[in-house]
Amino acid sequence: MIRLDKVSKKFPTGVFALSDISLNVEKGEFVFLVGPTGSGKTTIFRLLIRDLLPSAGSIFVNDFDVVKLPHHKIPILRKKIGFVFQDLKLLMDRTIFENIILSCEIANMQKQEAEKKTGEVLEKVGIADHKDKFPIQLSGGELQRAALARSLVLSPEVILADEPTGNLDLATSWAIVNQLCEINKKGTTIVMVTHNVEIVKKLSKRVIGLDKGRLVRDESPSSVGRRTSEDQVKK
């Protein structure tokens, strides 16, 4: 599904955002991507959607060789990947419905189908009643659900969620994460960036850790669960 092979990214300043990263994410996995601010997590996401090119290495998403992908095929790649941005990137002068259907319009979807799909994803994430409101009228959790709905509207095979629980209270954070888990159960691959240690421990999913652009941790769900149990025993 996703493969990075010896990927490095050096910015013009000379700073390495990533150094020799190799990892695989299988179809249908739910993976947490963790690490301190500036460790390279968002850079990996930007590389996966071809918003950046690596300085070295290969990147594959399904059958797409991302690095060698012709420019005219980038939109096709991005239809396969739903992205929940850390800063949401909702348009403040459009309603929630208009924000979400815009992705369908860019993808040249027929109007009737676009309206149907937009309505369905709004229902799925629980904010159908807010479809005619503007972003400024919604709470933080509702805005996050709107961003999630937008990532789902083109039925992507992969969702990249960049801190979807950031600045939310614990109950709302769990509501968002539980929705991602439900989406994952239906076969969608999820890679979620988070600093929320509580969520990572309780869910016992695979955890990939970065530090200063290097891969420092890759634990299977069983390992995460075992570590959590050991921590509880020590307490």
User: What is the rounded average pLDDT of the residues 134-159?
Assistant: 95
Superfamily of structural domain 2-80+157-234: P-loop containing nucleotide triphosphate hydrolases (3.40.50.300)
Alpha-carbon span 66 to 61, nearest angstrom: 7
What's the pLDDT at 222?
Answer: 65
User: What is the rounded average pLDDT of the residues 89-116?
Assistant: 96
What's the pLDDT at 233?
Answer: 35
Q: Is residue 86 scored above 90 in pLDDT?
A: no
| Sign of the torsion angle spanned by Cα atoms 144, 145, 151, 156 | positive
| Conformational region of residue 101, where left means phi above 0, alpha means psi within -120 to 50, and beta covers everything else | alpha
In the chain, % of residues over pLDDT 70: 94
Q: Is residue 228 scored above 60 in pLDDT?
A: no
What's the pLDDT at 52?
Answer: 96
What's the pLDDT at 224?
Answer: 58
Tens-place pLDDT, residues 174-217: 999 999 999 999 999 999 999 999 999 999 899 999 999 999 99
Domain ranges of the chain: 2-80+157-234, 92-155
Tens-place pLDDT, residues 5-37: 999 999 999 999 999 999 999 999 999 999 999
Alpha-carbon span 66 to 102, nearest angstrom: 25
Q: Is residue 101 scored above 60 in pLDDT?
A: yes
Dihedral Cα 117, 118, 121, 125, nearest 10 deg:
-170
Tens-place pLDDT, residues 31-82: 999 999 999 999 999 999 999 999 999 999 999 999 999 999 999 999 999 9
